[in-house]
Amino acid sequence: MRPQKITISEVGPRDGLQIERRLLPAEQKIALIDRLSATGLTRIEVSAFVHPKVVPQMADAEAVFAGIMRRPGVRYAGLVMNARGAERAVAASVDDIKTGIAVSDSFNELNVRMTTEQGMRALGEIAAVAKGTRSRIVGGIATAFGCPYEGPVPIEQVHRLFAQLAGFGAPVIYLADTTGMANPASITRTIESLRARWPNQPIGLHLHNTRGLGLANALAGLELGVVDFESSIGGLGGCPFAPRAVGNICTEDFVHMAHEMGIGTGVDLDALLRVAAFTQEAVGRPLPGMVMKAGKANERHDKAAPRMKVD
């Protein structure tokens, strides 16, 4: 069941940077995205078309999209939460409109100032804007494995949101462990439940490492044959509306794990590690990614060399 090859959607420039206190200029974001494009990644989430007062880090979405060097074979995505955002995304020639809704009313109201029911209506408006354009809808279901405000979420509600996104023809629907509530058993349970009803709809995973289970949850997905994952360079990230937010699973760590397991990604890990170092310097703080600190497992060391602790 474990796949031979997976596809990684890099969300660092959007989900990763949105919570950073240091506001990166558009030129630096463009440089990051262009570097990511050169690693072999084929999906990159560039920015979000949201109100700048809510997420100041994403205020330059149009400028960033206008400035990046688009590589053939790479799809460039933008997050959209309402029809106005969709209009901006279409005007910016976004390849993939990333949109979705939280299962939890409480989280959705904090995140986008809408109930889940209102959010579902907004999804319909977004799909209407995108219809007939070059931009396709890529779905996401936030708090799919639990909510820090409401606790466990009803699987029936996950099914309801999944059905709506599948109805829009989303090529993949990502289940998001937005606040790190998932564990390998709940990953398995939820995916198997959805596949029983929608056996032909591709399911992806968007995972955070909030409680140290990020790669364990990714492994659970791999064992189920999931081939679509979202991750963030250096382990950047964390939702501004999640308590004690911690970043997404780290792209280079996940790529390293996949390669060590014999799973292809199409990504040049050495190039990715150089981008991680660039990102760490850009944000001005140590990032949680481990492979850029410890090195790859297949590296060999001089036994006479001094040992160093990895912090």
Q: 210: Cβ–Cβ under 8 A, 6 or more apart, which residues?
A: 179, 180, 181, 242, 244, 245, 246
Which residue's structure tokens are 């699987």? 155
Beta strands 75-80 and 43-49 are: parallel
With residues binned 3-state (H G I as helix, E B as strand, rest as coil), the percentages for the chain, rounded to 5, are 40, 15, 40
Catalytic residue ranges: 239
Which residue's structure tokens are 């509530």? 181
| DSSP H stretches of helix in the chain | 26-37, 61-67, 83-91, 105-112, 116-130, 155-167, 184-197, 214-223, 251-260, 269-283, 291-294
Q: Which residues pair with 75 in a beta bridge?
A: 43
Q: Would you give the DSSP letter of residue 184?
A: H
